[in-house]
Chain A
Amino acid sequence: MQRNQGCQQLDHQVARRQFLAGAAGGALAFSLSGSPVVAEQVHGQHKRILQVYLQGGVSQLESWDPKPGTEYGGPFRAIPTSVPGMHISELLPYTAQRMHHLSIVRSINLKTNDHKQGRLFMEKGRRAGEYPYVGSIASKYLAPAKAELPGYIHISTRGLSDSTSAFLGARHAQLKFIGVNPPKNLSLPKGLAQTAATRRMELRQQFNKQFETGRPKAMTETFDASFQQAEKLMARKTFFEKAPADKDLERYGKHDFGRNCLLARTLLENNATCVKVTHHGYDSHAENFNFHLEQLGEFDKTFSMLLDDLHERGMLESTLVMVYSEFGRTPKINVRYGRDHWGSAWSMALGGCGIQSGAIIGKTNDKGTAVEDREVDAGHLFHTYLQALGIDSTEDHEIAGRSVPIGDPAAQSIKELLA
């Protein structure tokens, strides 16, 4: 069967012309054009994403889908939440009081137990291939033309480096911060005075002016834009230098994750488009329970404070919040009291912008070994995130003569989760 997915001849020619006009690119990526859907979005409120990535695979049984008193349930109880009838693990007492802001998807089946494959699937909504991450898509379609910050910032404490932007280009790739340390090369070189730095930039502009005469601008403008972005970042160096207020540290916690989430708040307040914070260390093949007690203790309070702050500032309505992993953990407890990789029946939480709050989507069976109802994979979740943000994920990326479906055409959004 031939499937013609909203890409008739005419669309294709348009895409092609756009490319030609861009003379080998640049122009397209530079403006926010691309597709009409997108133009519409920019007029509305600036929408954002907060991603909290629990790296290694958080246990669904110790978090969003507890099964106390069952064969594989583990030692922890389930506690009621601010949503009547919704119970989560007692390891998340602060989050439990805020579940009216969030929803849970309990029926994820990725059919993979591999860290990398799971991570890429969750980020790209596709099992394989060169596709952009959610954050890069947000940078491309949601970041205002005059954004003060790069569109996709990832705060992490380790060096995992992914190629995140695929065909959307380097400007939409993640800018990675190692913890609260500023990005590399943010300070002027030693011995170079600010006046001299300004002067050399002006001279650079003078050189450029002569070169640009009689030449197409797309590429040179892209190059110049990277310097402007760099200078904006340099001007915001204080974000990284200013010690957080004691009161804030008290609330968020004096650990890395607390500090990273405070930086995330600052960035979101300053109109960053997608901020991802990675909380490392959930790969609990041994001592799963002690591990989660500690890890989730750190996550629970910090995340709750951040959620409160976004809510109080009126930002939650325009910020999609995702708490996710690359997979969950096996119901079966191994001989080292650990749980292993489990991509076939696990959960994530999401809320904020465009998401129905207080909902539970899908369920696993009594022992938690398989999805019993409303099975979804990362392809469905991917459509859901984007549609929550008002991006039509069934449209195509129109990039340089190539139409690529934004979301996997074989998957759809979880409609009942969309507000």
Chain B
Amino acid sequence: MSLRSNLKLLAFSAILIAVFAAPVSAETPLHERIDSALSSDDPQFEKQAAAPADDATFLRRITLDLTGSIPAAEKVRAFVADSSTDKRVQEIDRLLASPEYARRMQYVFDTMLMERHPDKHVPAKDWRNYLRHSFRDNRHWDDLVQEMLTVDGTDEKTRPAAKFLLDRELKAEQVTRDLGRLFLGRDLQCAQCHDHPNVNDYLQRHYHGLNAFLSRSYLFRDPKTKKTSIGEKAEGQVAFTSVFTKEEVKTAPRVLDLPEIHDPEIPEEPYKIKPAKNVRSIPVYSRRLQLADAITSTENQAFQNNIVNRLWAQMMGRGLVEPLDMWHSDNPPTHPEILKLLTAGLQEQDYDLRYLIRELALTQTYQRSSHRKEGPKSTDEPDYRVGLLKALSPEQLAWSMMQATGVRERTLAGLISKKMKDDPKNGSKITAEPLWQEEAVHDALWRNVDSFTVTFGSVGAQSSRFDASANQALFLLNGPLIQSWLVPGGNNLTARLKKLESDTEVAKELYLAVFSRFPEESETNQVVEFLKASQLETHQGIPELVWAALASDEFRFNH
């Protein structure tokens, strides 16, 4: 293990010690308070709640959620065999400190903030690197949002952060709507032209109040560098009329129902840089620069609620408010007290997302089995008595398949031996670095991930609903990529299975590699039966066996 990760682990242990060594009178950890809040009002809760997931299921779930892939087979063996009592906590901390965690968060936040729209001005690669490095350094959420909303794109160092505004081309309808949806949990789109027809809480002034922060800003294309950045004028009000009433109303910048932010008196010379042909103007007073402060202000409850709700949905499979961007009084959170706990926790920790994710992962709620106990009432209501299924994202699906079939391992081995040959002096030291390994494997295999994203991802708003199309099934059934992973070669899964002596061993190895658990007896028998039947023909049984497992429900979902 690298020096760097050692240091991180040390830091984590220090936190852990601090928490555990604290006097009993100190507040109970957040995860325990969440669990008791869920069960406190209901004497039936404990009776009906599903048992904790077993170790193998827990490991698969947490590895998928924190690193974006299923665990390796040998990791499952080791984890199940480990007898230490705090092994789940240790594993959570180990994963949170891994380079794969930063990659996973890169995917999650890229999809959340850019919604798979094609590139406009800032290359996706730069933006993704920016996100990944930010999560590697555990930059806090308010800090990130501040940066994304204040940069103008002229400084190369911070230009990637400007993607949020630049790639939406500063178009009022898109930026305003997405500010509302992605940072405040409110889709104000219908309030653009009139007060929302269905949602009484969404008013036209909310939409235009947000819009007013940006109404003076414009895209500026530098004639020399051809690069686009953001300029701003010193004047411009926001007025709007309803398509239904035709009455004109004016608003200053404001976030939802928080007070309006009025412009200071216009100085004699309102510009730092005056507008002119081919000149990017900069006013003395910038409305746009007020936006980030106003949004991340502690007064602004919506900002905190939104990120807490999104992380809860990410980990638990469903938001406390669903859809994630339809926060209003007719659609209140299912568990307001949990929301309050989480929001307070996040504020105390200064918007530290890693802290919040860690606390969520430590709850019994997160660690519950997704198997319903016999008997108790059905889980029509989101009461978290039973773990929910979460469909793997396109990226999770791709990396998990490459993990299961041995493509990842095989590729990494090849990269390491090449590096050793190219750099015999430092090769072994460099290639031992987890960070080097993660980036090397990613660079080698991202095209595969991309073809999953094209097939399984969709442009636009996300939802925790699951959907599947014929195209996707055809990709799994007949697509050449997955077929190529099933051809026995080197030390990949099908090759390894073919070398095994008995069909019982094949079953065990298959289950560990693909389902990340040991098979039950009936399952072993099923595999043995299948191999017997298929071997009557040519020896095709093993690739088919692996395919059926990869295409199964158990593999498709995080459960």
- Once bound together, how far apart are the Cα atoms of A230 and B326, in whole Å? 34
- Given A207-B549, A226-B470: A403 and B554 interface contact (C-beta under 8 Å): no
Is A163's CB under 8 angstroms from B466's CB? no
Is A227's CB under 8 angstroms from B471's CB? no
Q: Across the two chains, which residue of chain B brings its CB closest to A25?
A: B465
* A interface footprint on B238-249 (CB within 8 Å = 1, 0 otherwise): 000011110000
- Given A185-B477, A223-B553, A226-B472: A29 and B467 interface contact (C-beta under 8 Å): yes
Q: Give chain A nearest CB distance to B101 CB in angstroms.
A: 25
Q: Give chain A nearest CB distance to B243 CB in angstroms.
A: 5
Is A199's CB under 8 angstroms from B534's CB? yes
Is B469's CB under 8 angstroms from A171's CB? yes
Is B464's CB under 8 angstroms from A24's CB? yes
The segment from A55-63, A214-222, A290-298 that touches chain B is A214-222
- Once bound together, how far apart are the Cα atoms of A226 and B475, in whole Å? 11
Q: Across the two chains, which residue of chain B brings its CB closest to A29?
A: B467
B200 sits at the interface (CB 8 A): yes
Is B322's CB under 8 angstroms from A19's CB? yes
Is A170's CB under 8 angstroms from B472's CB? yes
Q: Across the two chains, which residue of chain A brings its CB closest to B116?
A: A163
Is B523's CB under 8 angstroms from A24's CB? no
Is B470's CB under 8 angstroms from A229's CB? yes
Is B466's CB under 8 angstroms from A26's CB? yes
Which residues of B have CB within 8 Å of A186? 474, 478
* B interface footprint on A151-194 (CB within 8 Å = 1, 0 otherwise): 00000000000010111011101010000000111111100110
Is B460's CB under 8 angstroms from A166's CB? yes
Is B323's CB under 8 angstroms from A409's CB? no
The segment from B302-310, B344-352, B539-547 that touches chain A is B539-547
Q: In this complex, which of A193, A213, A227 has the most chain B Cβ atoms within 10 angstroms of its Cβ?
A: A227
Interface size, chain A (Cβ < 8 Å): 81
A5 sits at the interface (CB 8 A): yes
Which residues of B have CB within 8 Å of A26? 465-467
Which residues of A have CB within 8 Å of B174? 128
Q: Give chain A nearest CB distance to B324 CB in angstroms.
A: 11
B298 sits at the interface (CB 8 A): no
Which residues of A have CB within 8 Å of B37? none
Is B469's CB under 8 angstroms from A226's CB? yes
Where chain B touches its partner, the secondary structure class is loop
Is A129's CB under 8 angstroms from B469's CB? no
Interface size, chain B (Cβ < 8 Å): 76
Which residues of A have CB within 8 Å of B460? 130, 163, 166
B372 sits at the interface (CB 8 A): yes
B483 sits at the interface (CB 8 A): yes
Partner of A401, one of B326, B475, B548, B551: B326
B143 sits at the interface (CB 8 A): no
B419 sits at the interface (CB 8 A): no
- Once bound together, how far apart are the Cα atoms of A248 and B323, in whole Å? 50
Q: In this complex, which of A25, A165, A175, A396 has the most chain B Cβ atoms within 10 angstroms of its Cβ?
A: A25
- Once bound together, how far apart are the Cα atoms of A13 and B556, in whole Å? 31
- Once bound together, how far apart are the Cα atoms of A188 and B197, in whole Å? 49
Is B474's CB under 8 angstroms from A193's CB? no
Q: Which residues of A contact B (CB under 8 A)?
A: 1-5, 7, 9, 12-13, 16, 19-26, 29, 128-130, 150, 163, 165-167, 169-171, 173, 175, 183-189, 192-193, 195-196, 199-201, 203-204, 206-208, 210-216, 218-220, 222-227, 229-230, 232-234, 396, 400-405, 409-410
6 A-B pairs closest in CB distance: A25-B465, A226-B468, A230-B473, A5-B197, A169-B467, A203-B548
23 A-B pairs with CB atoms under 8 Å apart are: A4-B200, A7-B197, A23-B388, A24-B464, A26-B466, A129-B173, A165-B458, A183-B470, A185-B478, A189-B478, A192-B540, A193-B537, A203-B548, A207-B552, A207-B554, A208-B553, A210-B522, A215-B389, A216-B379, A216-B389, A219-B466, A226-B468, A405-B198
